[in-house]
């Protein structure tokens, strides 16, 4: 799990993908059609601070990024989630499609993808990992790593990982053991979406209200992928999410926000739109249906100065840790 953020380095150079033929397995990160509601032994996901400028921020408990001199913190264990005692959120509005409910606007938000716990008082929206359960009485967003593989689970994507010039799977420059899914053709996008649908189905069965597909911006880090391919794949995920009664949030990638509605994307989940002066761009695309997590007091102040009462904003620690763990931070515009 990372312990810092930094500006994104140049794109990883990979050649035109050459995918070896292979049968598609039924499992997705430990889920199968028969046991999709049962979590496997794999640890938590992590979120990405992931528009085309930004490096990934932390959140997944399964491993650390590639080492550098500044990496010093180690991941900590996560307690089991406790039942929520927070007050119910205001009634969310309905999407333009009329089939799903959007997050309420301007309410308390908590980003819990590093581990579920009882939300603080005043929280109306919670984002949690897909292996956790929703918080009772709140609007719940289900985190999914939709554009890259999980460490140690490359075999789940046999024939569907992007290949580099050396013929090996193209690894994320910041996250050791995490590889780009190959969305370069319609056939591969459909195959990937069919497998990802298993996880989306699990989110729906658990009672989540929406999904948050991470790494939408993977195309900015791998030359073998394009924005148009990412958008096409995202539209497939949106169609299935809506069919299951789930809204879908765009995770970062502000440069793609203007096309979100045409793809079926309902709202935005942003990291540091205040720190990077991007909140206005998201507002143009999504109105006030934006939930934002900041990782610095300066970023929180910036986001709150223009969007308090409109967006749902929280400052969390970079490790997205649970209460009782060193470094835990949860601050709002009123703090």
User: What is residue 305's predicted lDDT score, i.e. its pLDDT?
Assistant: 97
User: What is residue 95's predicted lDDT score, i.e. its pLDDT?
Assistant: 53
CB-based contacts of 304: which residues, under 8 Å, 6+ apart? Answer: 274, 313, 333
User: What is residue 60's predicted lDDT score, i.e. its pLDDT?
Assistant: 36
pTM: 0.75
User: What is residue 55's predicted lDDT score, i.e. its pLDDT?
Assistant: 37
| Mean pLDDT, 10 residues at a time, the chain of 335 residues | 29 34 34 34 38 37 36 32 38 59 97 96 97 97 95 90 93 89 98 97 98 95 95 98 98 96 97 97 98 98 97 97 93 93
CB-based contacts of 299: which residues, under 8 Å, 6+ apart? Answer: 272, 274, 275, 315
Q: If you search the block for the tokens 């995770």, which residue do you land on?
A: 251
User: What is residue 247's predicted lDDT score, i.e. its pLDDT?
Assistant: 98
User: What is residue 326's predicted lDDT score, i.e. its pLDDT?
Assistant: 87
User: What is residue 302's predicted lDDT score, i.e. its pLDDT?
Assistant: 98
Give the whole-angstrom CA distance, residue 301 versus residue 269: 18
Give the whole-angstrom CA distance, residue 263 versus residue 245: 16
Q: 227-243 and 186-206 are packed helices; what angle lies between their axes, rounded to 10 degrees? A: 40
User: What is residue 282's predicted lDDT score, i.e. its pLDDT?
Assistant: 98
- Name 120's bridge partners: none
- Phi then psi for 107, rounded to 5 degrees? -110, 170
CB-based contacts of 317: which residues, under 8 Å, 6+ apart? Answer: 295, 327, 328, 329
């Amino acid at each position: 799990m990372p312990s810092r953020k930094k500006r994104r380095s140049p794109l990883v150079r990979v050649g035109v993908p050459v995918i070896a033929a292979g049968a598609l397995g039924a499992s997705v990160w430990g889920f199968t059609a028969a046991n999709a509601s049962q979590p496997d032994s794999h640890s938590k996901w992590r979120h990405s601070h992931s528009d085309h400028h930004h490096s990934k921020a932390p959140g997944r408990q399964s491993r650390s990024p590639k080492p550098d001199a500044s990496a010093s913190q180690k991941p900590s264990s996560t307690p089991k989630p406790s039942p929520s005692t927070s007050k119910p959120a205001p009634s969310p509005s309905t999407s333009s499609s009329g089939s799903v409910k959007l997050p309420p606007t301007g309410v308390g938000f908590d980003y819990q993808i590093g581990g579920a716990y009882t939300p603080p008082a005043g929280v109306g929206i919670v984002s949690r990992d897909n292996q956790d359960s929703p918080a009772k009485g709140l609007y719940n967003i289900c985190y999914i790593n939709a554009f890259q593989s999980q460490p140690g689970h490359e075999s789940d994507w046999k024939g569907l990982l992007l290949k580099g010039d050396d013929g090996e799977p193209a690894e994320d420059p910041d996250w050791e053991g995490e590889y780009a899914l190959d969305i370069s053709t319609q056939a591969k996008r459909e195959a990937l979406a069919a497998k990802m649908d298993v996880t989306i189905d699990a989110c729906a069965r658990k009672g989540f209200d929406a999904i948050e597909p991470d790494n939408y911006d993977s195309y900015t880090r791998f030359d073998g992928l394009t924005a148009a391919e990412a958008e096409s794949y995202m539209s497939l995920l949106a169609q299935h999410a809506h069919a299951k009664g789930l809204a879908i949030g765009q995770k970062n990638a502000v440069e793609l926000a203007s096309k979100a509605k045409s793809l079926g994307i309902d709202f935005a989940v942003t990291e540091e739109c205040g720190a990077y002066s991007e909140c206005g761009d998201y507002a143009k695309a999504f109105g006030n249906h934006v939930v934002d997590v900041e990782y610095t007091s300066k970023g929180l102040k910036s986001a709150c100065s223009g969007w308090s009462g409109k967006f749902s904003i929280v400052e969390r620690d970079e490790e997205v840790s649970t209460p009782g763990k060193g470094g835990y931070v949860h601050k709002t515009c009123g703090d």
